[in-house]
């Protein structure tokens, strides 16, 4: 059988009850209002949350550039590297985008090579 966890009874700056789920330490306080959580722990958690939000919000910036032509690839690659360097884009996503760019360039190389072959046959028979 499960028991519903208590809600935090702390009063927020706006005068309303916090209402977040209380910790399982027997108190009626959440992580952000518990006396048993140090300021350092709260600070670390807040920073981690902010980093996750930064990483999530950064993904659409790279996604704005489309791989419509070979000419767009250098710009997309440059933006991807820049956003990875500044920590706006997580390396996993950055590596995936870089890999996709490399694959697209190879596809365009093959397409270009086939086109040259066709033109060569038209000219020289
Ligand atoms: Zn609370």
Rounded distance from Cα 69 to ligand 1 centre (Å):
51
Task: Name the more confident of 96 and 61.
Answer: 96
Prediction pTM value:
0.47
Rounded distance from Cα 11 to ligand 1 centre (Å):
8
Rounded distance from Cα 33 to ligand 1 centre (Å):
5
- 5-9: long-range pairs with CB below 8 Å, 24+: 8/32, 8/33
Where do the domains of the chain lie?
62-124
Rounded distance from Cα 28 to ligand 1 centre (Å):
8
Q: What is the DSSP string of the chain?
A: ---PPPBP-PBPTTSSB--PBPPSSSSS--TTT-TTS-HHHHHHHHHHHHHHHHHHHHHHHHHTS--SSGGGHHHHHHHHHHHHHTTSS-HHHHHHHHHHHHHHHHHHHHHHHHHHHHHHHHHH-
pLDDT band with cut points at 50, 70 and 90 for residue 1: very low
Question: What percent of the chain clears pLDDT 90, i.e. is strictly above it?
Answer: 25
pLDDT 10s digits, 3-20:
567 889 999 889 999 988
pLDDT 10s digits, 35-69:
888 888 888 888 887 666 555 555 546 666 677 77
Rounded distance from Cα 1 to ligand 1 centre (Å):
25
pLDDT band with cut points at 50, 70 and 90 for residue 115: very high
Of 58-62, 85-89, 102-106, the one with minimum mean pLDDT is: 58-62
- Other CB atoms within 10 Å distance of the CB of residue 9: 14
Rounded distance from Cα 58 to ligand 1 centre (Å):
29
Rounded distance from Cα 54 to ligand 1 centre (Å):
24
Task: Name the more confident of 5 and 23.
Answer: 23
Rounded distance from Cα 125 to ligand 1 centre (Å):
80
Of 52-61, 93-102, 114-123, the one with minimum mean pLDDT is: 52-61
């Amino acid at each position: 059988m499960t028991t519903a966890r208590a809600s935090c009874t702390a009063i927020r700056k706006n005068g309303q009850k916090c209402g977040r789920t209380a910790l399982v330490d027997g108190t009626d306080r959440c992580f952000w209002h518990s006396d048993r959580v140090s300021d350092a722990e709260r600070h670390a958690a807040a920073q981690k949350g902010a980093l996750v939000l930064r990483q999530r919000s950064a993904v659409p910036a790279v996604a704005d550039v489309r791989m419509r032509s070979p000419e767009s690839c250098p710009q997309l690659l440059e933006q991807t590297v820049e956003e990875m360097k500044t920590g706006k884009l997580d390396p996993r996503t950055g590596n995936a985008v870089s890999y996709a760019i490399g694959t697209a360039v190879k596809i365009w190389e093959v397409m270009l090579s086939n086109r040259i072959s066709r033109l060569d046959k038209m000219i020289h028979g």
